[in-house]
Chains A and B, each alone.
Chain A
Amino acid sequence: MELSSVASMMSLGSLAIQRTYLCSLVFRLLPKLLGFTPSSLKKFCKDVHPPLTETIVGTLPELPQDILMGIFATLEIPDFVRAGAVCRSWRSAYTSLRSPGQYKLSPCLLHTSESAGDSSACLYSLTERRSYKLTLPEPPIRSRCLIGSSHGWLVTVDERSEMHLVNPITCQQIALPSVITLEQVKPIFDEYGVLHKYELSWLTGTTTRYVPPLIFALDKLRDELHYKAFVFPDTSTGSYIVVLIHNPMRQLSFARLGDDKWTWLPPHDLYCDCIYKDGLLYAVSKRGELHTFDISGPVVAMNMVISIPRKDYCEYLYIVEAPWGDLLLIWRIFEDFNLEPDPGASVFWNTTKFRIYELEASGSKLKEINCLRDHVLFLGHNESLCLSAEQYPSLRANHAYFTDDNMFWTLGFKNNHRDMGILNLDDNSKEGLISSQLCSNFPAPIWITPDLRNMNLASGAA
């Protein structure tokens, strides 16, 4: 290509884009040359924004879309949402940027507060250090347990121990298969044929002897059964897969959106955390075993990746995919706790440190790492996250942002203080997240990476 014509093409091309800008220049000069009045000039060039005034040229607010997207990409959600309401061209940039991968949203803390009301949740922004009130669909969010948060969806359990997905920003809500479709749960009906209790059996993949089942009131089953849930995008269908870690013995069951029942994944148990990577479900157990499940086919194929016998079990293990592709296993350590306090004192537990192990690429060894350098962890009931601090300048590198996902609180300590905060991985110093006056203990606060889009899912509605 002729180089000189490239140069002239470049300027011509820009001329086309800057046409309206040039029109304004023309209007600046023409009156001087030709003695035209502003109103007669208006007839020649109708598409200049804003309408010409006596003082002529003003501001042409339209910037090219890619520049607008570059500007919006650095905004926090509330500012981003407001920018998308300013005018058509800004809204167009906002809509383009909303698609996944385009806009780096940092996680927010979702919590409730007594003053906000039963159907409201508060979204706490780490950068702005303030909460935004969101109104959520029924049943009231303050009556539900929050057991998971991934890809902008909350997984909730209501007072009938039934699960839903809720996007707190868009208020889209999707019912998950009924709890009675889990292998271990049976409904119990009263004399009128109305469901009034659940029966929970001790069925696991390895139980051999019979243990009588337990009976629970509708709202009490969730204290015993549900532990943690995850939502993973199912690329083959464009929908989602929900994975549930549940009792007895922290087993796995899963369902695709639109399924009418949960599918049980025996025989292993004591799972702590899951992720979905390269089409496989990875689940790590308290025993230090890492399993993968291929749930794409009609038959689930399971594989043992690694088995690290540990003398000391860790109750709270997380697995996360680091941005550089390797898997990290994280142990949450509580050296400071008191579960049987003296009269007058209260029960408490405090996270004191995290131990981080990298699973080597060969998949056979774990290597302890002492520092995450430029990365940030988000741990709790949410899908565990390891983010690059460079991409999220408002977050602190080499820190773990954690919420309370301790099973003790579900067994009756609902009003206990929350073990949550920001831990510095260098020196294990801790900092609180939000004043306890502003934040209720139940449902337990949870991290969420908001998603502003309404999903178009075949299995839709609440």
Chain B
Amino acid sequence: MAATTADGSKVVGGGEKSNVDEESKMITLFSSDGERFEVTQEAAAMSQTIHHMMEDGCVDDEGVHLPNVGSSILAMVIEYCNRHVASPDEKEDIRSFDAGFVNVEHHTLFDIIRAANYLDVKELMDLCCQTVADSIKSKSVEEIRELFGIVNDFTPEEEAEIRKENQWAFE
């Protein structure tokens, strides 16, 4: 859930930790398109990249700029992190949250993977990669290309050669 505060910046809070006073210190993240996100340090630390920056004292008062992550994707990653730090023990809830979370268009899923890779959020990477793998299962090559919007960049000769090598898998 996102709420807009008085000064126009977005505050994305999760679960039980919506009181951002004493306990949870906040950190500001800037997406590539300049949008501002206020996140608890705990949630931000799920990103090893940001975690190391915080530990090494590289985060100044302004916050962390993430020129590689767009606002819509960053919002999703933050939502994931907030949800996972909020109630890490409620396995069932988390599972159903995760299932809903990855139920997105494949190009969005790829964007999230790239962001999670850059930000080094292992759990999110594993979740999304497993989702991609599950989408590949039992599909033909054409179906996979269509699903992910991938262009076939083999020459007809190359493709024939590839199929010949393991003909049995392409029946």
Contact = CB atoms under 8 A, between A and B. Distances in A.
Interface in B150-171: 150-154, 159, 162-163, 165-171
Contacts, number: 122
Contacts of B125: 67, 70
B118 A18 contact: yes
B137 interface: yes
B133 A75 contact: yes
A81 B169 contact: yes
B139 interface: yes
Nearest to B140: A82
Interface in B93-139: 106-107, 110, 113-114, 117-118, 125, 129-130, 132-133, 136-139
Given A7-B53, A21-B114, A50-B151, A91 B162 contact: yes
Contacts of A7: 53, 56, 58
A82 B141 contact: yes
A82 B139 contact: yes
B154 A87 contact: yes
Contact of B170 (A67, A76, A82): A82
Nearest to B107: A59
Nearest to B57: A3
B24 to A, nearest CB: 23
A132 interface: yes
Interface stretch (B7-15, B38-46, B62-70, B76-84): B62-70
Interface residues of B, number: 49
Contact of B110 (A15, A61, A70): A61
Contacts of B152: 86-87
B52 to A, nearest CB: 9
B90 to A, nearest CB: 23
Contacts of A82: 136, 139-141, 144, 169-170
B106 to A, nearest CB: 7
Contact of A18 (B68, B113, B139, B163): B68
B151 A49 contact: yes
Contacts of B139: 79, 82
Nearest to B162: A85
Contacts of B151: 49-50, 61, 87
Query: For B33, B67, B106, B125, which residue has the most chain A Cβ atoms within 10 angstroms?
Result: B67
A74 interface: yes
Contacts of B162: 84-85, 91
Interface in A24-43: 25, 29
